[in-house]
């Protein structure tokens, strides 16, 4: 049985009341093609682009981990999402609706130097005894070493406790040249 394809010429964008299911229309004023599939009108311009202004289904790649949304030279400007919307390989980034962001217990890795507002986010470092503690990493520069490369990075502890508040191979020296060795001293806190 032969199929009939109906082609119409219209002046303007057709609606489901203008087209029957499977019917194709040519919009002469915008030079676009439209086809009704079910209760949806799909549109294609003369440049081959598709009208995505009202997508009524999930947009899925043909295979997993092979397609990108945007590129390094062509980026999307803004993304508007509801809460619990971003899933990065199982780590969920969500909002509570007040503008606050929460990262699920599975965790997401943020790049060094990330900020919460204008404040740098503290990082987890291994403290004395191998315990993980929250710290702010502060680069240390000296006159002898110059300003282009830090002589050391100090990890400043977020809590007051009885252990050094900084770690690393560099230590503070006292005026007599000896190392600062009092484990109960707190030099910095944030």
Does residue 72 carry a pLDDT above 70? Answer: yes
Higher confidence at residue 138 or residue 20?
20
List, in order, residues 6 or more apart from 31 with CB less than 8 Å away. Answer: 45, 46
Percent of the chain with pLDDT over 70: 57
* Across 155-171, average pLDDT: 56
Domain definitions of the chain by residue range: 7-45, 75-109, 110-190
pLDDT tens-digit series, residues 78-131? 888 876 678 777 777 777 667 666 666 556 667 667 777 777 776 666 655 666
How far apart CA 158 and CA 122 sit, in angstroms, is 8
How far apart CA 80 and CA 82 sit, in angstroms, is 7
Note the pTM of the prediction, 2 decimals.
0.40
* Across 38-56, average pLDDT: 77
pLDDT at 183: 47
Q: What share of the chain is helix, strand, coil (3-state, %, to 5)?
A: 0, 30, 65
Averaged confidence pLDDT in the chain: 74
Higher confidence at residue 42 or residue 154?
42
* Across 29-58, average pLDDT: 80
Q: Quickly count helices (H) and strands (E) in the chain.
A: 0, 12
Does residue 161 carry a pLDDT above 60? Answer: no
Higher confidence at residue 116 or residue 25?
25
């Amino acid at each position: 049985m032969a199929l009939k394809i109906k082609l119409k010429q219209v002046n303007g964008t057709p609606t489901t009341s203008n087209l029957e299911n499977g019917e194709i229309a040519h919009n002469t004023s915008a030079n676009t093609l439209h086809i009704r599939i079910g209760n949806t009108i799909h549109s294609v311009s003369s440049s081959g682009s598709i009208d995505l202004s009202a997508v009524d289904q999930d947009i899925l790649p043909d295979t997993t981990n092979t397609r990108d949304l945007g590129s390094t030279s062509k980026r999307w400007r803004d993304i508007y999402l509801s809460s619990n919307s971003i899933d990065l390989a199982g780590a969920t980034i969500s909002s509570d609706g007040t503008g606050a962001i929460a990262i699920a217990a599975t965790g997401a890795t943020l790049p060094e130097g990330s900020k919460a507002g204008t404040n740098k986010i503290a990082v987890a470092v291994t403290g004395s005894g191998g315990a993980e503690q929250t710290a702010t990493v502060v680069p240390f520069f000296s006159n002898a070493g110059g300003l282009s490369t830090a002589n050391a990075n100090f990890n400043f502890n977020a809590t007051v406790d009885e252990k050094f508040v900084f770690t690393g191979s560099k230590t503070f020296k006292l005026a007599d040249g000896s190392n600062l060795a009092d484990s109960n001293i707190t030099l910095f806190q944030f």
